[in-house]
Structure 1
Amino acid sequence: MFSRARNLLISGVGAAAVVLGAAAPGIAAGDDTPLPSAVETFEYPGAAKILKERGIRLDSGDGHILLADCKVSADITVFTKKSDDVNQGKICFKVTGSGKKGYLSLDIPDVMAIAAGKYGAWASVGGPTGMVNVPKNDVKAVGEAAWGEPARLLALQV
């Protein structure tokens, strides 16, 4: 009797494996279709539209420094020579999260100064200084205003 029960159990498990195997979704043997990537690229959303409309190239970041409306939020303000836009050469950024950490890779030409609000910031600037520390509630001159040559803002970090 024991062997008969064991045989029934084994055959039941085998049948269940066949049914579940046939019903389980997956890739068929020999299918060369690549799986979609789940890797985050950290590309800035809407970057092409912002570049076309405002001339600001936003490359990538961690989502904690975002382009903002200067009338609403200005945790970090970048002052440029460009004065023909609605913000008269000001480009504002909002710091999200706790404000303890944030990064944004970008490219803004003809930068004159960078101001930090309640969060201090580091700016990577093309020019003789490279990195510029902007303490909270302070403004640092860069580019023509500081060393007589145009500067490009390449990254912001909180």
Structure 2
Amino acid sequence: MRSLLRGTRVAVSTGVASVALVVGATTSTAAPSTVPAGNPALSYAVEGFEYPNAANILKERGIALRKGDGHILLSDCAVTQDIVVNTNNLDNVDRGKYCFKVTGTGKTGQLTLEVPKVISITAGNYLVQASLTSEGQTTEVGVPKYDTTVVGQGANPTGNPAVLVKLRVKG
């Protein structure tokens, strides 16, 4: 293979600029590149799984979307209703109804959030696990496919409101 590359020149043109690549005539040994530790010029992209635009959603819609894997997304109820969370907070822009879309090929996902005054959760074609808090207690609730589970003050009108803190989907 060494003899095939000897003296080979390749030109690539992008229409804006041309780049010439000259392949060496002899074999070479590549030395590993070292970068001094603590070089401030280097940075790493670390995914924190923060929900995009969360501050605006909190301000405009009254719910806090914290972190997730990107497979459960807040959606317009006219577009999709894979998961519907109903609250008794009727004075907000959504009139107490929040819809979520499930994305991805595996149809699994998770989202930590804070939706106050939840009274029911409805699932579409997904098994949904929800974590709710009320009076300092966390409760896990399963919602079967194509069903609604009543929670919080929906289940006990004299009880304290429940806050939805986590949604999980299992295809």
- Which TM-score tier does this pair reach, normalised by the shorter chain? 0.7 to 0.9
Per the alignment, in what secondary structure is the counterpart of residue 108 of structure 2?
coil
Q: Distance in 1 between matches of 2:124 and 2:138?
A: 22
1:101-153 deviation per Cα after TM superposition (whole angstroms, max 9, x unaligned) = 10000001111110001112000011356100000111111111113221000
Q: Distance in 2 between matches of 1:57 and 1:133?
A: 22
Give the aligned residue type for 1:100.
K
Gaps of at least 5 residues in structure 1 are 1-12
Q: Say which of 138, 153, 159 aligns to 1:144.
A: 153
- Give 2:69's aligned residue: 62
Alpha-carbon contact 2:50-2:67 (below 8 Å) kept = yes
Q: Distance in 1 between matches of 2:138 and 2:66?
A: 22
Identity of aligned residues (%): 50
Alpha-carbon contact 1:119-1:136 (below 8 Å) kept = yes
Runs of 4+ off more than 4 Å: 24-27
* Aligned-residue offset at 1:40: 1.2
- Give 2:115's aligned residue: 108
Q: Distance in 2 between matches of 1:76 and 1:59?
A: 17
Aligned pairs, how many?
Answer: 140
Per the alignment, in what secondary structure is the counterpart of residue 70 of structure 1?
coil
Per the alignment, in what secondary structure is the counterpart of residue 144 of structure 1?
helix
* Aligned-residue offset at 1:32: 3.8
- 1:1-158 matches, within 5 Å, as 27=35, 29=36, 32-33=39-40, 35-98=42-105, 100-127=107-134, 130-147=139-156, 148-158=159-169
Bigger fraction of residues in helix: 1
Per the alignment, in what secondary structure is the counterpart of residue 109 of structure 1?
strand
Bigger fraction of residues in strand: 2
Q: Normalising by the residue count of structure 2, what TM-score does the alignment of the two structures yield? A: 0.72
Gaps of at least 5 residues in structure 2 are 1-25
Q: Distance in 1 between matches of 2:114 and 2:80?
A: 20
Structure with the greater alpha carbon radius of gyration = 1
Distance 1:75-1:30 versus aligned 2 partners, 3 A rule: closer
RMSD over aligned Cα, in angstroms? 2.6
* Aligned-residue offset at 1:26: 6.8
Q: Distance in 2 between matches of 1:151 and 1:31?
A: 47
